[in-house]
């Protein structure tokens, strides 16, 4: 079956069932799962569906608000947060940007941790306020409703006043060739500033975002020190990332 007919079948099936899986599509279309993965990647990159681990869902089902996204893949994000915990040491200065994986990380910090946290993520302010030994610095600028973050030139200039030990970067998309990319220019620019002013950069990403990309480039993959996902680090999909020197947790 030619590629265009496979695309039409996948989109039709998605409209009927609201979710499709690699294995079933492979059987239905009598092609390999690798072929189905490439088809799903192409459809995802063209905005026609949303790729998830093991298959795809309609694009319109992608949770649009931050509060809705907190509940999306909650268990996976808790795994990511738990893997990230050993990197956090008392006394550190840390950049935290937007994203629900960052929110989950904050919610699982040790109650007695002593940190200086610099963030543009307004959603995590109430959670961090509960920590007696966390000094919280909020970046100023323009409020961005889509991600409940502060962006803009003022925020970027404030970042330049700090040197963080650690930067936990919320991820929109990761690709070995295209690097780290973001959905909005303002977020990409602030991520770049945080990256330049941090010692160790850690990408927090659900597995489904690997080998995907968005419009605005943040950095090359090799600029990251760690990538943390919910999947075992031995998975072969990480091989290309490891080859450029990124540690996988």
pLDDT band, very low/low/confident/very high, at 189 (cuts 50, 70, 90)? very high
Residue 87, token pair as written in the block: 């990197």
Q: What is the pLDDT of residues 22-56, one digit of tens each?
A: 999 999 999 999 999 999 988 877 667 888 888 88
Domain 3-61 has CATH 1.10.10.10: yes
Mean pLDDT confidence for 106-135: 91
Q: Running DSSP on this structure, what letter comes out for residue 229?
A: -
Mean pLDDT confidence for 165-170: 97
Return the CATH superfamily for domain 68-248: Translation initiation factor eif-2b; domain 2 (3.40.50.10470)
How many Cβ atoms are within 10 Å of 220's Cβ, its own excluded? 13
pLDDT-above-70 percentage for the chain: 92
pLDDT band, very low/low/confident/very high, at 74 (cuts 50, 70, 90)? low
Q: What is the pLDDT of residues 128-158, one digit of tens each?
A: 988 899 999 999 999 988 788 999 999 999 9
**195 close to 219: Cβ distance less than 8 angstroms:** yes
**pLDDT, position 76:** 82
Residue ranges with strand state E in 42-114: 50-52, 55-57, 93-96
Mean pLDDT confidence for 220-247: 93
The answer for 54, left when phi > 0, alpha when psi is -120 to 50, beta otherwise, is: left
Report whether pLDDT(70) > 60. no
Report whether pLDDT(224) > 70. yes
pLDDT band, very low/low/confident/very high, at 64 (cuts 50, 70, 90)? very low
Report whether pLDDT(63) > 60. no
Mean model confidence pLDDT for the chain: 88
Please report, for the chain, the start and end positions of each structural domain, with discontinuous segments joined by +: 3-61, 68-248
Cross-strand pairs, 192:
none
Q: Where do we find the tokens 């649009």?
A: 64
**pLDDT, position 187:** 93
């Amino acid at each position: 079956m030619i590629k265009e007919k496979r695309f039409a079948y996948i989109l039709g099936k998605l409209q009927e069932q609201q979710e499709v899986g690699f294995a079933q599509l492979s059987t239905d279309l009598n092609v390999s799962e690798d072929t189905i993965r490439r088809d799903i990647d192409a459809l995802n990159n063209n905005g026609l569906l949303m790729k998830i681990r093991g298959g795809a869902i309609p694009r319109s089902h992608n949770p649009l608000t931050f509060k809705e996204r907190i509940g999306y893949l909650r268990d996976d994000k808790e795994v990511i947060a738990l893997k990230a915990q050993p990197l956090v040491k008392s006394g550190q200065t840390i950049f935290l940007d937007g994203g629900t994986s960052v929110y989950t990380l904050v919610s699982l910090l040790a109650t007695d941790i002593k940190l200086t946290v610099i963030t543009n993520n307004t959603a995590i302010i109430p959670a961090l306020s509960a920590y007696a030994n966390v000094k919280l610095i909020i970046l100023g600028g323009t409020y961005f409703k889509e991600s409940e973050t502060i962006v803009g030139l003022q925020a970027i200039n404030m970042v330049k006043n700090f040197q963080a030990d650690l930067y936990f970067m919320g991820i929109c998309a990761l690709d070995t060739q295209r690097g780290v990319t973001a959905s909005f220019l303002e977020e990409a620019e602030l991520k770049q500033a945080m990256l330049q002013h941090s010692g160790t950069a850690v990408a927090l990403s659900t597995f489904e975002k690997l080998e995907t990309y968005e419009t605005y480039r943040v950095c090359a993959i090799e600029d990251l020190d760690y990538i943390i996902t919910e999947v075992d680090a031995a998975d072969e999909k990480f091989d290309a990332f490891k080859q450029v020197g990124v540690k996988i947790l």
